[in-house]
Amino acid sequence: MILAYDGRMDSSPVSRRRFLTAIGAAAPLAVTAQAPPPTGSLTDVAGVRVGHFTDTRRPTGCTAILFDRPVTAGADYDGSAPGESLGLMLQPVSPLEQIHGILLSGGGPMALGATAGVVRFLEERNVGYDWGVPNVRVPIVVGAVIDDLALGDGRIRAGADEAYRACQSASTSAVAEGSVGAGTGATVGKLFVGRGMPGMKGGLGCASARLGDIVIGALVVVNASGDIVDRRTGAIVAGARTADARGFARTVDVLRRDLESRRADRALRDDPLRATTLAVVATNVALTKTQLTKVAMMANSGAARAINPYHTQSDGDQVIALSTGALNAGVSLTSLGAMAAEVVADAIVRAVRVASGLPGWSAVRDL
Backbone angles phi, psi at 109, to 5 degrees: -55, -30
Higher pLDDT, 361 or 17: 361
DSSP of 221-289 = EEE-SSEEE-TTT--EEE-PBPTTSSSB--HHHHHHHHHHHT-TT------TTSBEEEEEEEEEE---H
Residue % of the chain over a pLDDT of 70: 89
148-168 confidence digits (pLDDT tens): 999 999 999 999 999 999 999
**Rounded to whole angstroms, how far apart are CA atoms 181 and 177?**
8
30-61 confidence digits (pLDDT tens): 333 567 888 899 999 999 999 999 999 999 99
Q: Where are the alpha helices (DSSP H) in 101-157?
A: 115-124
Residue 2 has pLDDT above 60, yes or no: no
Residue 264 has pLDDT above 80, yes or no: no
pTM of the model: 0.90
Domains observed in the chain: 16-25+41-358 (3.60.70.12)
> 357 — alpha (psi -120 to 50), left (phi > 0) or beta?
beta
DSSP of 96-109 = --EEEEEEEESSGG
Where does the pLDDT of residue 21 fall: very low under 50, low under 70, confident under 90, or very high at 90 and above? very low
92-124 confidence digits (pLDDT tens): 999 999 999 999 999 999 999 999 999 999 999
Q: Tell me if 170 sits within 8 A of 64, measured CB to CB.
A: yes
Q: Tell me if 261 sits within 8 A of 297, measured CB to CB.
A: no
Angle at 136 between CA 133 and CA 138, to 5 degrees: 110
301-342 confidence digits (pLDDT tens): 999 999 999 999 889 899 999 999 999 988 999 999 999 999
